[in-house]
Structure 1
Amino acid sequence: MRYIEEFHDPELARRLLDEIRATVTRPWAMMEVCGGQTHSIIRHGIDQLLPEEVELIHGPGCPVCVTPLEMIDKALAIASRRNVVFCSFGDMLRVPGTDRDLFRVKGEGGDVRVVYSPLDALEIARREPDKEVVFFGIGFETTAPANAMTVHEARRLGIGNFSLLVSHVRVPPAVEAIMRAPECRVQAFLAAGHVCSVMGTAEYPELAERHRVPIVVTGFEPLDILEGVRRTVRQLERGEHRVENAYPRAVREAGNPAALRMIEEVFEVTDRAWRGIGTIPDSGWRLSDAFRAYDAEYRFDVGDVRTAESADCRSGEVLQGLIKPHECPSFGTACTPRTPLGATMVSSEGACAAYYLYRRLEVAPVG
């Protein structure tokens, strides 16, 4: 349990909170980028323990939540086809498309299977050569190396009945888009430690300098987050805007060189749509020309899918940090984990799910 229990020490948490209170002199708003951090913040009540001058804004850091509706509908179209085995992580099965989800497709006879790794899907393709096996490859930079490696392995082994439906997104362009939005209130970022463990921190200094915002790489346990907030507040109070690594046990400046080489070989940068936000230039990856034969969008010709978002769901505003989940009129009524209108209520990292799960159903006192 090393690196878990020791980062839940209440006495150390009190000391960090005391230091934050002693440092802050004016209101500051910072965004945690990762949905895992959001859940930790809400679960442990960190936002309520911080002084009222410090506001935590929940960002678009849930990979399930930002997968665009168009891509969900493409997944549904492919999964509905005969002779297709559609493989996905479990948290994608209840994400609503325009008029149904993958659970509905499975109930209607589609061969939809939950797997725990893209390599599980590749093994299914090897065992069932008469089926077309598709893996739903979503996520931030964290999951990209495993998906890239699986496609690379499929080509090496000559497994031609495997393909990847790719919806990978990249964090730095999203930070850029957030800072350029006219309504942006974000003054600093808590960067996602697992993303930086893969990519390193090289992309962040330019962002911090251009927008004059501190960016502190942070982990996921309570003390990780409090230490990230402490460093961020210290920079803000001093008028600094640097990149700091508050998660050195997992993050190195150069990231993971082997993972980066695999991503560079298999993927290429592309514009990508983010659910509820819109298209962000250069914010995603797609399979490169050398691996295009393994791209499910091309293999199944689903480029003409048309989508329609729910008019009652304001998850896009939640993902941009413009509102808190409980400020959506549908939250907890028309939209619950059993009857979700948007992905932020479905995903294990979604902000709406966190607020519902931990009973943050209305504005709570802070401080």
Structure 2
Amino acid sequence: MQLVDEFRDPLLAKKVVDHINAVFAELPYSRERPLQIMEVCGGHTHTIFKFGLDQLLPDGIEFVHGPGCPVCVLPMSRLDDFMTLGEAEKTILCTFGDAMRVPGTNGSLLDANARGYQVRIVYSPLDALTIAKENPDHEIIFFGLGFETTMPSTAMTLKQAKQQGVTNFSLFCQHITIAPTLKALLEQADIRIDGFLLPGHVSMIVGSEPYQFIARDFQKPSVITGFEPLDVLQSILMLLEQFRDQRCEIGNQYQRVVARQGNPMALKAMAEVFTAKHSSLWRGLGHIADSGIQLTPDYAEFDAEQKFTIDPSTSVEPEACRCGDVLTGRCKPIDCPLFGNQCTPTNAIGALMVSSEGACAAYYQYRLEVN
């Protein structure tokens, strides 16, 4: 079924929903034993709840929320380490706005800024490089945060810094990769996921090849999905058709953006600047093998953790916070005892409440009055 450019056309949405209902009626799932679909990306979570897509679907389809929001999976200890770097004189910390309100042990970056730290919000790592060139007597440290979506821009910025001989610019690297994370999820026996809606923006960079193990090794149908309401609805239909036809593959609903081989130029830049770490710590997920990223030896001079002395933090998440369970589909935000009570957007305890892609933020904004 082909979609047209009007991705929010209610008449077309109704046609897609009718197809979903017809296909779902042929499947064995029900309210008592729902089909559990994990939307990996927080952008999809917000689309689903903003437009009420889950309320249009049969009762036997249940969404579970995945670890595809880089701010949400940021461990408190890594945030604490980054903030420690800001204690030095003539140091400017640069970060994307989404990370400003994530709570650390001693408050957020926004709180640190109020205490006198120099913290700047930037819209790209190139902005941070510009700040470095404009402030040669300061050390500029960029918080490299995100999946493969943001890694190419960081890589290209470091290439420019090297070519231009900028020596007061460095990277605190918290870039992470999606495929090892999904593999770690699927290997956990207590998590039941029937199929995936895979992230469109990450896939724009990496293509569809890195996900093939999901179908091959774990027999889970999946669809790479765009972010408009009709994108998500069509992707659900594509998933249901796989279940009905007893197929298991990586579908690509987002073909207008995602090519099978990904973006070769972006991948080349990433391969030059980055290499995999043996293990990386994730909020709520613990250490995941081969999921983290570090700089190659050719770019080690820009590694803030080598350039400056850091005593790694051992801080842990608040005991009652269930961010990790939400990120792995073990519970919904409303199941957390802190949600909407002690944990709100203005007084967040967990990162999922302050991220623009966080599941808790989506529930709070669009569903709190319902529940």
TM-score category, normalised to shorter length: over 0.9
Matches within 5 A, 1:243-254: 243-254=250-261
Q: Who is 1:11 aligned against?
A: 11
SS for the counterpart of 2:119 is strand
Shift of residue 210 of structure 1? 0.3
**AA aligned opposite 2:109:** L
1:325–1:352 contact (8 Å) kept in structure 2: yes
Aligned length: 361
1:297–1:303 contact (8 Å) kept in structure 2: no
Query: Please, which of 98, 112, 118 is the counterpart of residue 91 of structure 1?
Result: 98
Q: Who is 1:23 aligned against?
A: 23
* Seq. identity, %: 44
**AA aligned opposite 2:9:** D
Matches within 5 A, 1:340-355: 340-355=348-363
- Relative to structure 1, the CA distance from residue 4 to residue 265 in structure 2 (aligned partners, 3 Å threshold; closer, same or farther) is farther
- State the distance in 2 between where 1:4 and 1:220 align: 14
Query: Please, which of 261, 272, 275 is the counterpart of residue 265 of structure 1?
Result: 272
SS for the counterpart of 1:283 is coil
Matches within 5 A, 1:55-70: 55-70=62-77
Matches within 5 A, 1:147-296: 147-270=154-277, 271-296=279-304
Q: Deviations over 1:245-278 (max 9, x none)?
A: 1011100001100000000000001121111111
1:109 aligned onto 2:116: yes
- State the distance in 2 between where 1:236 and 1:212 align: 11
1:134 aligned onto 2:141: yes
Shift of residue 216 of structure 1? 0.6
- State the distance in 2 between where 1:308 and 1:185 align: 26
Q: Deviations over 1:213-269 (max 9, x none)?
A: 111110000000001000001111222110111011100001100000000000001
2:49–2:367 contact (8 Å) kept in structure 1: no
- State the distance in 2 between where 1:170 and 1:347 align: 18
2:81–2:312 contact (8 Å) kept in structure 1: no
Shift of residue 356 of structure 1? 0.4
1:304 aligned onto 2:312: yes
**AA aligned opposite 1:87:** C
SS for the counterpart of 2:173 is strand
Shift of residue 289 of structure 1? 1.3
**What residue ranges of structure 2 are gaps of 5+ in the alignment?**
30-34
Q: Normalised by the size of structure 1, how large is the TM-score?
A: 0.96
**What residue ranges of structure 1 are gaps of 5+ in the alignment?**
none
The farther-off stretch of 293-302 and 220-229 is 293-302
Q: Who is 2:40 aligned against?
A: 33
- State the distance in 1 between where 2:75 and 2:296 align: 21
